């Protein structure tokens, strides 16, 4: 059969609610009549020019008889809701697997370029750090003086401490070149050959020698904080996995939001740069979405523009995603809202390199721009999906 006029299809399936929102965009030739047929496993669109059929992934099944809320939105297309059966679980991009990687040697890579940062480090203890306010809680609940006062938690050799968005790693003395006592703060440049090369700078940033990306910050003479969005930790016997930067950043941030919302019952986040400035305000709406977006094709779905950088995108693919509301805070935007969130104890701060904050804002903006028009805003916030 010939292909029908190109039609945009957007499908969001909520696994917990067992419901789906289907949006069929207007054909480019708006004057064409279209006959739409929905089966549990496919969507068929017929026009005088031909027929287009889109198959849903095997793990997604719609219930055509449950169709409700049918409405036509000018400029957006046809909206309808259906019941859905979705048994789908996807393995997110692995940032770090403490249970398996604490048993053998690990290699730390720069995620942007694949440069080896720390080679063959044996991690005997991989421990989560307490919340940032753990010291205040001790003061509130203990009747004796705080035994941990002014004693920051630093890892010992062969330790790795995991924070909300970072790893703390102890640097062995044979990898660290001592600095002159009166020298200004340095920037360690990391590489597989020299490991650390000190350059005079008025900060403590840790940068990759090859690509110059900021990887973290020095916390003490022996401890470095590596940001999760910049580092990949893999068993030494494995090769460096090539993952598109946008896909990696989305997955890491999405996993952080889901874990924090589950552990601390917080759903609002202030994304801050290492310079202390707020870049984005994020509000987590849900974490159980399966998202498919495509342009119709007579053979298969050609791409999923909403979730960019997907290596293999076809009609048998769907992706877990978290749905967020966001407000950009750059160039002094939303100052009153930023101040209000800063003073709200239910808002959790996540610190990342400033350049990564801008990357994340670009990803959110591009994702928002691909949504159907009526789904791009909610109240005063913008809507976006982050792929797990």
Residue 249 corresponds to which tokens in the numbers above?
């950043």
Mean pLDDT (the chain, rounded): 80
Q: How does residue 306 score in pLDDT terms, banded at 50, 70 and 90? A: very low
pLDDT of residue 52: 79
Residue 278 corresponds to which tokens in the numbers above?
């707020």
Q: What tens digit of pLDDT does each residue of 132-189 get?
A: 666 666 666 777 776 666 677 789 888 999 999 999 998 864 444 333 232 344 445 5
> Would you say 348 and 284 are in contact if contact means Cβ atoms under 8 Å apart?
no
Burial of residue 101, with CB atoms counted within 10 A of its CB: 0-12 exposed, 13-18 middle, 19 or more buried: buried
> Would you say 123 and 158 are in contact if contact means Cβ atoms under 8 Å apart?
yes
Does this model's pTM top 0.85? Answer: no
Average pLDDT over residues 108-132: 89
Q: What tens digit of pLDDT does each residue of 195-243 get?
A: 444 444 446 889 999 999 999 999 888 899 999 999 999 998 888 888 9
Q: What tens digit of pLDDT does each residue of 61-92 get?
A: 999 999 998 898 888 889 999 999 887 565 66
Q: What tens digit of pLDDT does each residue of 21-36 get?
A: 999 887 666 566 778 8
For residue 167, the number of C-alpha atoms closer than 13 Å in the C-beta half-sphere is 23
Distance CA 307, CA 293 (A): 8
């Amino acid at each position: 059969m010939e292909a029908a006029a190109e039609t945009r299809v957007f499908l969001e399936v909520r696994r917990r609610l067992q419901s789906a929102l289907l949006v069929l965009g207007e054909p480019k030739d708006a004057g064409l009549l279209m006959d739409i047929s929905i089966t549990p496993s496919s969507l068929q669109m017929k026009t005088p020019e031909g027929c287009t059929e889109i198959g849903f992934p095997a793990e997604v099944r719609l219930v055509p008889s449950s169709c409700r809320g049918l409405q036509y939105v000018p400029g957006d297309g046809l909206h309808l809701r259906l019941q859905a059966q979705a048994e789908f679980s996807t393995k997110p991009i692995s940032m770090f697997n403490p249970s398996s990687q604490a048993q053998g040697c690990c290699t730390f890579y720069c995620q942007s370029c694949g440069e080896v940062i720390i080679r063959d480090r044996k991690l005997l203890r991989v421990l989560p750090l307490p919340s940032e306010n753990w010291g205040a809680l001790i003061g509130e609940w203990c009747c004796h003086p705080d035994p941990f006062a002014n004693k920051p938690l630093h890892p010992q050799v062969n330790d790795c401490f995991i924070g909300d968005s970072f790893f703390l790693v102890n640097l062995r003395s044979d990898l660290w070149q001592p600095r002159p006592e009166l020298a200004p703060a340095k920037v360690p440049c990391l590489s597989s050959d020299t490991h650390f090369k000190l350059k005079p700078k008025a900060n403590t940033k840790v940068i990759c020698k090859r690509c110059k990306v900021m990887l973290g910050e020095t916390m003490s003479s022996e401890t470095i904080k590596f940001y999760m969005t910049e580092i990949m930790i893999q068993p030494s016997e494995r090769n460096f996995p090539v993952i598109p930067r946008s896909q990696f950043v989305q997955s890491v941030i999405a996993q952080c939001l889901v874990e924090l919302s589950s552990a601390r019952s917080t759903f609002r986040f202030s994304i801050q740069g290492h310079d202390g400035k707020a870049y984005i305000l994020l509000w987590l709406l849900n974490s159980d979405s399966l998202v498919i977006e495509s342009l119709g094709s007579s053979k298969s779905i050609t791409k999923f523009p909403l979730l960019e950088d997907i290596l293999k995108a076809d009609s048998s693919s769907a992706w877990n995603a978290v749905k967020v509301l966001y407000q950009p805070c750059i160039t002094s935007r939303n100052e009153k809202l930023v101040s209000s969130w800063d003073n709200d104890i239910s808002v959790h701060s996540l610190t990342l390199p400033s350049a990564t904050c801008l990357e994340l804002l670009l990803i959110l903006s591009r994702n928002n721009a691909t949504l159907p028009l009526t789904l791009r805003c909610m109240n005063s916030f913008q809507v976006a999906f982050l792929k797990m």
